[in-house]
Every structure is written in C-alpha cells, then in structure tokens.
Structure 1
Amino acid sequence: MTSCLLDLEQQAAELPFEQQRLLISFLQQQLDSGSCINMLEANFTIKPQCPHCHACHIKRHGKPNGRQRYRCHACHKTFMCTINTPFYRMRFLEKWLPYFTCILDSLPIRKSAKRCNISVKTAFKWRHQFLSLPNKVKAQRLSGIVEIDETLFRYSEKGSRTLSRKAHKRGGDCAGRGRKKGDWVAVLVARDRNKQVFDECLDSADSVTLLGLLENKIAADSVVCSDGFLSYLKMTQDMKVEHKILNASHGRRVKEGVFHIQNVNAYHSRLHLWINTFRGVATKYLPNYLGWFRFFEAHDNPNENSILAMQTQLT
C-alpha cells in the first residue's frame, strides 16, 4: 500500500497544473461523498434494525456501487442505510456536502444550483428533501416560563401553475378594512427561557386547536405568558397552568419583572427578516422554512455534520 501511494504521489507531481486541479477536485468529491455515507452508516450500526419487519438480526450483503447493503435474516429483504431517510434513492452523492453549505448559507435555489453544478429542479427537490429533517425536530417539552404568541405570513402560492384565485397584480388585496383571513397564515410559536421552540402553522386559532397542539408540550408547573387573546386564556384554564396576560395596548408589557413575551416577539422579528431574504415563500412549504430557521437558532455554529446528526434524533 505504501509503495502504491509513493507511485501515486510521483505520478501526481508530474501531471500538468490543470490535471492536478481536476485530481484534487475528484478526491475532494470522494471525501465528501464518503463522509456523508460514513455518518449515516455509523448511525445505522448503533441501532441496526430492519426497516421492513423491525427485526434486529442484520448482516452485510455486498457493496454495489461502493455502498454497503444489508440483509435481514427474518424477512430476507435487502436495504441500505439511507432507507427511510431524505437521502433514499438520491444521486450525486459527492454533491451532498456542498449542497449542505448552500443550506447553511441560506442561498436561493438558483444560486445553490449554480454553486453545486446541478439543475434548478434538482436544487429545489433537494432543498425540501433535506429540510424535512429540521422540520421534524421540534421541542417536545417546554418548561419554566413559556412565552406564546402567533405571527402572520401572507398566503402564497409561489411557483404554482394552477392558482386557486386570481393573481394579484402587486402585493396583496387591499380592498376592504382589516386583514382577510384567506390572505394570511397564522404561525403559532411557543418558546421557553431555555430557548426550546415549538411552532406550527394554524388553520384555526381557537382554544381547542391550541389545546391539542400544546397540552402535552407544556409542563404542568410552567407559567404561560401571552397577550390578551381569549383562546390562550381558555387553553390555559383547560390545562390548569398559571397564566400571565400581557396587554401591550394598556402598557402592560412586563409583570413582576420577569413575565413578558419579548423573547418570542424577538424570535418573530428574526424569523420574518430571514424569510424576507427569499422574496416570499410558498405557504405549502412554510413548515420546512420554519424548521430551517429553528435549526439555525438551535446551533451556534451549524455545519454539515449538524444536518446529518439530526437524522440520529429521528431514528
């Protein structure tokens, strides 16, 4: 092996500069593709289980195209470590890590496609396949002081070829007073002082809907802070948790020095500023972008491994 490496080094040194550059690019692609699969395989081997019958007696079953395949002793079906993940049946393995950097940089679709040398269609498909990971990782338990508030995003059918309404010439429909329900989508955000976040797009903001979403998420000894929206009052009464109402219109922004909703409102502000960089987001994909932003908020220095590590939380 050592002699082979020495021969390779000698041959590489004799290559013209352009061919050396191509060789470096090729080796980097191999390293990128290998690190993705290695992490997924390492995660699978921690808790090996057949995705078909859930048996744990698994054995290796060859390496087609250099990727490890497994076979279940119980049902005799074969599979790879990417099954039941967003990476299943995805091609261009060597471009996954470069595309992760596009996600970390919050690049638009076309710029991501150009950087990774893939089609716009592939870049769009990959974005929402990869974003299905952070979309599923939400806080399952909120405790202590929990701030709750909703924010509004304009309803959008961006990218759709069959609109359910007449297209707006510019912006939204300004006819009439107030905000029309059909033109806006409410997003509920619940955030505790440990920076744990649970969010959800709402079809309705009544107390029954809110109770169904948050009843098992908020600890019994928590203190819920919200504005004067009556649905929050009814929800907290049904949950039998302490509730502090902050009515900003009457100048009540803080109670007892610690109870307020300024953290969740600041979260809304950062979320809107970030989503505005995409020049509008289709409503049907909004949950993916909410998960994307939660991922950024939860990691001080996010990297490619952080994205892959989320798969561990889901298995």
Structure 2
Amino acid sequence: MNLVELLQIASSEEKAEGFLRERGVLKTFDSCPFCHAKNIGKIRRNFYKCYKCKKEWSVRKDSILEDLKIPFSKFILAVKLFILEVPAHKSHKELDLAYNTTHKIYTKLRQCIYKFVSKDDQLLSGEVEIDESYFGGKRKGSRGRGAKNKIPVFGILERNGKVKVEIVKDVSAETLLRETIKKVKRGSLIYTDKFKSYDGLVMYGFKHERIDKSVKFANGKVYINGIEGFWSYVKERLLKFHGVSKDNFIYYLKELEFRYNFMDNIDDSLYKCLGGIN
C-alpha cells in the first residue's frame, strides 16, 4: 500500500478501525470473550457488553493495541514508519507522540515479529549455506571465531529461499550440528567454510561441500556468499541503533531475519504477524 492510500485510511478513526479489523489486528467477537454467551452488543463507540455476565470489553481487547492509548490512525502510521526503518527517535516527532509511546509501539512490533518467526518450523532444503557470526561487545583479546565479549549467532540460508538465524551459546560442533538438524532437511546439500565444527554433517545425513576462503571465496557453486551477505545486511542496519542491549538483541535480530525473508511483501507480512499475536 502506498502512502497516499494509507493517509486516506488514516484520515478518520472509522476507516482506520475498519482497516485494522480487516487485517485481524482488531478482533471481531461473535460471543462474549468471558462467558461465551451470544447475547452481546455495542454500548459505546469503543466498548461492547455481554448481557448475560454483564461484563464489558474494549474493541482493543486481545490485540497489540490493548494497552496503547493512541488513535488507530496514528498506530497505522507508526507501523508504516517502522516498515520504512524510521527510528523511534525520529518517528515520534512525525507522529506527534511522546518518544516513550513510540518506542513502546516499536518494541511491541518487534515482539510480535519474534513470536511469528519463532513459530516457523518449516525445514530449509535443497542447496543451503551455513555460517556463524559475532555481534556486540568490545574487541579485546582474540578476534574472529571465539572473539571475547561477543554474541555468537548461527545462520542458515536456503539458496533462493529463506534465512534462519539463532543466538547460540557457543560454536562447538555439538551446538551447530544440533541447530542444523532442527532447521535443515536431511539429504540437503550444505555449503560451509573449513571450520572444524562442521566436520560431522555427512554423518547426520547431509551432503557437504566446503570452500577454503584462505584460497578463494568461490569455486563454482561452492561458496557461502549468500549467508555472508546476510551478515553484512544485519550489521549495517544494527549500526544505526548505536548499540543494542543483550536482552533486546534477539528481537532486533529476528526483525532483520523477518525483513530479509519478506522484503518483497513486508507490509502484508507484518500485518499478518500483528493479526496472529495470540
């Protein structure tokens, strides 16, 4: 959806509410969410009531908007600014909202993405590249693999398909093979570099080819340029946040996994996340 169409929808609360309801962000209750009776009705603009148990609920119930006291129109615009990668410290001025409110919206969006991505248990297959990378911390002591004070992240990329990433406790063979088995279909052809933790892939039913990057970066179809390109994509975008805490890093990481996988349909995909948060 382009900005002109979005601004038309955001021009009234009625249109904005309809837009969010169509996408499942706002739920439509056919029965009471408390006692499940069918005898319900709208009593005020944003409230419904059950005439059996006498309880009332807001149109925002069980949605990402339940504890966000902002107009629907501003929420829609905030989602668009998030999609466009406008940081919260800039978008709050465009939205005429407090920074803390805008930051809360962005945090909720990232949490929804995390839940959505975490539910994807479809195995990657075909030709697959795997690699690890390291994020955060200060560059003291050893560099590269085993760098101190950094968060190890394992990545798996299906060529012409999705990428999946996971924070791991270490890059031992046991850890990386376990993650590979969980995410890649047996019989797939896996490309790696010469890192020794990948030595056991064939024993677990995978085909395995390696590239020695100290000699060259590609040998025909044997390369890991795809997953390395993803690492560059992630690191470039993380720079603009000027530091992400370890506690929140997983949400930013999964956001970038999501953006990479759905870059051609990011708007609809994000609203799908928001409509399925429960």
Residue matched to 2:211:
246
- How much has 1:186 moved relative to structure 2? 1.5
- Where structure 2 has 5 or more consecutive residues not aligned to the other structure, the ranges are 1-7
Q: Cα 1:313–1:27, aligned 2, differ >3 Å: closer, same or farther?
A: closer
Cα deviations across residues 230-252 of structure 1 (Å, max 9, x unaligned)? 22223x2453211112220133x
State the alpha-carbon separation in 1 of the partners of residues 126 and 34 from structure 2.
41
Q: Cα 1:101–1:225, aligned 2, differ >3 Å: closer, same or farther?
A: same
State the alpha-carbon separation in 1 of the partners of residues 131 and 157 from structure 2.
9
Residue matched to 1:220:
186
State the alpha-carbon separation in 1 of the partners of residues 255 and 210 from structure 2.
30
- Superposition TM-score, scaled by structure 2 size: 0.78
Q: Tell which structure's C-alpha radius of gyration is larger.
A: 1
In structure 2, which of residues 14, 19, 29 is the aligned counterpart of residue 35 of structure 1?
A: 19
Q: CA RMSD in A?
A: 3.5
Moved over 6 A (4+): 41-45, 48-53, 75-81
Cα deviations across residues 20-68 of structure 1 (Å, max 9, x unaligned)? xxxx9984344224312342268767xx899889xxx674633355347
Number of residue-to-residue matches in the alignment: 264
Residue matched to 2:131:
149
Amino acid at match of 1:228: K
Q: Cα 1:58–1:151, aligned 2, differ >3 Å: closer, same or farther?
A: farther
Q: Cα 1:41–1:269, aligned 2, differ >3 Å: closer, same or farther?
A: closer
Q: 1:143-182 to 2 correspondence within 5 Å?
A: 143-155=125-137, 172=138, 174=140, 176-178=141-143, 181-182=147-148
User: Which stretch of the first structure deviates more once superposed, 112-121 or 181-190?
Assistant: 181-190
- Superposition TM-score, scaled by structure 1 size: 0.70
In structure 2, which of residues 102, 108, 112 is the aligned counterpart of residue 129 of structure 1?
A: 108
State the alpha-carbon separation in 1 of the partners of residues 241 and 197 from structure 2.
32
Tell me if 1:296 matches 2:262.
no
State the alpha-carbon separation in 2 of the partners of residues 247 and 50 from structure 1.
62
In structure 1, which of residues 90, 93, 99 is the aligned counterpart of residue 78 of structure 2?
A: 99
Q: Cα 1:66–1:128, aligned 2, differ >3 Å: closer, same or farther?
A: same
In structure 1, which of residues 117, 122, 138 is the aligned counterpart of residue 96 of structure 2?
A: 117
Residue matched to 1:207:
173
Higher helix share: 1
Amino acid at match of 2:195: F
Cα deviations across residues 156-203 of structure 1 (Å, max 9, x unaligned)? xxxxxxxxxxxxxxxx364x4546754211221111013211111122
Q: Cα 1:279–1:292, aligned 2, differ >3 Å: closer, same or farther?
A: same
State the alpha-carbon separation in 1 of the partners of residues 169 and 131 from structure 2.
15
User: Which stretch of the first structure deviates more once superposed, 118-127 or 236-245?
Assistant: 236-245
In the alignment, is the contact (CA less than 8 A) between 2:189 and 2:208 conserved in 1?
A: yes
- Where structure 1 has 5 or more consecutive residues not aligned to the other structure, the ranges are 1-23, 156-171
